Structure formats: C-alpha cells, structure tokens
C-alpha cells in the first residue's frame, strides 16, 4: 500500500470511529432519564454521526467532498478564516449524485436537519415522545449503512438495549400530538409542512419513521412472558389483525387537511355540491374551529387544518 493510500485509509477509519462514537452518544443521551434536552442533543449528535459516515464513504470511493471552484484546470478549495478546508455538511452529502443513501432514509435525515434549523432559534420542549419514531428510524438506518459499507463488526446494536420505563403507557401518553399545547409554533408548523409534502407511501415508510405498536401480553404459564418486547413478522396474521385494530383507534400523527384539500377530496369522491363557500358555511354551522370539538387545529397562529373526523362530518352533510 502506498503512503497516500495509507493516509486515506487512516483518515477514513478515524471518520468511521468518530461517526460511531457520535451515534452511540446520541442514543445514550436520549435514553438518559435525567436529561431534559434529549431531542436537541440526539439530533445534533446524529447529524454529526451521519456527516462523518458519509465523509468516510466518499473518501473510500474517491469522491471529493470538500468545497472548491475550478480556476482553469485547477481546483481552488474553499477554506475557513483559519485556513482549514470546508467540508460538505450533511445536506450537501445527501444532494450529491453519488450519495448511497436511499430516498426514505434521506427523507428522515432531511426532516432532522430542518428540525435542527428550527430549534437553533428557539428552545423546545415536549417533543421527545412526539418524534421518537423518527429518531428510532434514524438510528436503525444508521446502523444499517454503517455495517453495509464498513463491516458487520462495527454494528452498534450489541451496545444498545430498550430503555426501562418507570411508568406504564396509558391513554394520556397518546395525547402527545403535533398540536399539543407547549409545542413551539415554529416546530409544529415545520413538522406539519414537512409531513404534508410527503406522499402517503413515503410518510408510512419505516425508514422515515419507525413506529411500533405495543400491546400488553399476559400468560398463565411461567417462562412464556419473559421478554418486555416481542416482535412478530409484519406480514403475519397477528400483525395484520393488530394493524387493523390500531387503524381504528390510533390518535397520534393525525392526517390534517387544508380547507382547499377538504373540498378537493370531497369532489374526488363525487360530491358536486361542495365549494369553498359551502365549506366555510359548514365550518361555521358546526363550530368546527372550536378546539373542544376536536375537528381542527390552528397551526402557527395562521392556518386551520382539519382532521379526518371533520371530513366525515362534511361527507355526511353532503349526502343529505
């Protein structure tokens, strides 16, 4: 191996090491019950972890990941005021046409990047539970790519375990919704806008948000309920049955519609007696903007969005 190749290999290995340590620190902090800024720390550290991981990948593939401009036939690299090279940030790494990251994993990372931009300007609270599915997906995606390109022996799953809880999961905890009081308006607006821009298929992809349904399990035989969490295959009859039940009762991450989308959806269903004026009259008739009715939510103090429950009401009125 030439001296240059040894240097490239050494830097790549150091990048992978730092990436892995950042990811482990992110998860350990998020699982620490004494921390009060888990989400903020997790997001920052996981973005660092992914950035180093992609830098290592590009170095391995001989892709230039420093900013530069061409001056004739030579590259002039961009540098900081202190003379250091300017390397690509995570978003630029994802935008590269040689990026190895699949679309759904990239959606997850772009969401975290956008969320980080928002929390840089305002303190957050009460988002740990709300966004945990996306944090979980980010962690699983990271572990997959780390092993795929740098070896199974570097996988971090053996260092992690499920966090133990001091409280049971009850109905009140399912109220951690996007429109919950206490969630900064800029954060709720960003989450809603990002999700609305995704297709239903992209939104439901586990690489964007890894959602798990917990069901209490009891048994009358010793040794049959030793695991706190038991996984079943997603295509099994049991899982399909649970998904059908959950679809009826689920209350988190509700789909929301703008007034124009409500009108368009009704028109798609064949209702010709609906327009924006008619919709506004129905809103006033049923007091649909009253928070107590649970039909809509005001986002960022500027726009009302309507839930599926409101669509059912509109649909019923149009059928009369």
Q: What is the pLDDT of residues 132-143, one digit of tens each?
A: 888 888 998 999
**Higher pLDDT residue, 113 or 156?**
113
pTM value > 0.75: no
Place of tokens 């170095």: 59
State whether residue 285 is helix, strand or coil: helix
| Phi, psi for 166 (deg, rounded to 5) | -95, -5
Give the mean pLDDT of 58-70.
Answer: 93
With contact defined as beta carbons under 8 Å apart, do 262 and 271 qualify? no
pLDDT (0 to 100) of residue 300: 58
Q: What is the mean pLDDT of residues 10-35?
A: 88
pLDDT of residue 33: 76
Instruction: Please state, in angstroms and as integers, the Cα–Cα distance from residue 90 to each residue in 26, 80, 136, 219, following that order.
Output: 16, 18, 19, 48
pLDDT at 105 over 90: yes
Res 239: pLDDT: 60
Per-residue pLDDT, averaged over 151-165, amounts to 73
Tokens (6 digits) for 139: 């962690």
Q: Count of residues for the chain?
A: 320
Q: Is pLDDT larger for residue 253 or for residue 299?
A: 299
pLDDT at 54: 96
CB atoms within 10 A of CB 180: 14
d(CA 91, CA 93): 5
Q: Would you say residue 85 has pLDDT above 90? A: yes
For the cut 80, the answer to whether the pLDDT of residue 169 exceeds it is no
Q: Which residue has the higher pLDDT, 255 or 112?
A: 112
pLDDT for residue 182: 54
What are the φ/ψ torsions at residue 297 (nearest 5 degrees)? Answer: -145, 140
Better-predicted residue by pLDDT, 303 or 50: 50
For every residue of 47-62, DSSP letters joined together read: HHHHHHHHHHHHHHTT
Q: Give 319's pLDDT tier (boundaries 50, 70, 90).
A: confident
Q: Which residues contact 48 (CB under 8 A, 6 or more apart)?
A: 18, 19, 22
Specify the range with the lowest mean pLDDT, choosing from 186-195, 214-223, 231-240: 214-223
Q: State residue 171's pLDDT score.
A: 43
How many Å apart are CA 219 and CA 5, to the nearest integer? 59
Q: CB under 8 Å to 288, separation ≥6 — which residues?
A: 282, 295, 296, 306, 310, 313
**Collapsed DSSP state (helix, strand, coil) of residue 66:** strand
Q: Which residues contact 254 (CB under 8 A, 6 or more apart)?
A: 177, 178, 307, 308
Give 298 or 21, the one with higher predicted confidence.
21
Q: 74-77 and 68-71: which strand pairing?
A: antiparallel
**Which tops the pLDDT comparison, 17 or 128?**
17
Would you state the pLDDT for residue 176?
41
Comparing C-alpha atoms, which of 117, 118, 110 is closest to residue 134? 110
Give pLDDT, residue 221. 56
Summary mean pLDDT of the chain:
79
What is the mean pLDDT of the segment spanning 287-312? 83
Beta bridge mates, 257: 306
């Amino acid at each position: 191996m030439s001296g240059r190749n040894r240097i490239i290999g050494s830097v790549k290995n150091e990048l992978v090491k730092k990436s892995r340590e950042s990811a482990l620190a992110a998860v350990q902090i998020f699982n620490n019950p004494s921390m009060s800024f888990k989400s903020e720390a997790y997001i920052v550290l996981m973005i660092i972890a992914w950035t180093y991981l992609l830098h290592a990948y590009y170095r391995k593939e001989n892709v230039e990941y420093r900013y530069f401009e061409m001056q004739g036939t030579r590259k002039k690299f961009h540098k900081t005021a202190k003379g250091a090279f300017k390397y690509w940030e995570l978003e630029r790494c994802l935008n590269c046409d040689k990026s190895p990251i699949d679309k759904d994993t990239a959606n997850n990372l772009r969401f975290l990047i956008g969320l980080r931009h928002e929390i840089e300007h305002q303190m957050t609270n009460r988002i740990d539970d709300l966004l945990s599915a996306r944090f979980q997906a980010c962690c699983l995606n990271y572990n997959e790519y780390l092993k795929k390109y740098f070896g199974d022996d570097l996988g971090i799953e053996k260092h992690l375990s499920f966090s133990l809880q001091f409280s049971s999961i009850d109905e009140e905890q399912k109220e951690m919704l996007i429109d919950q009081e206490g969630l900064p308006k800029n954060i709720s607006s960003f989450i809603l806008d990002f999700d609305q821009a995704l297709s239903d298929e992209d939104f439901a992809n586990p690489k964007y948000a890894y959602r798990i349904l917990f069901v209490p399990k009891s048994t009358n035989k010793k040794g049959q309920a030793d695991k706190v969490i038991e996984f079943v295959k997603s295509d099994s009859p049991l899982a399909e049955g649970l998904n059908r039940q959950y679809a009826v009762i689920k209350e988190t991450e509700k789909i929301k519609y703008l007034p124009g989308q409500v009108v368009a959806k009704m028109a798609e269903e064949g209702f010709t007696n609906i327009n924006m004026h008619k919709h506004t009259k129905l809103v006033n008739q049923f007091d649909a903007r009253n928070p107590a009715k649970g039909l809509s939510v005001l986002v960022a103090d500027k726009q009302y969005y309507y839930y599926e429950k409101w669509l059912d009401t509109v649909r019923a009125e149009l059928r009369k």
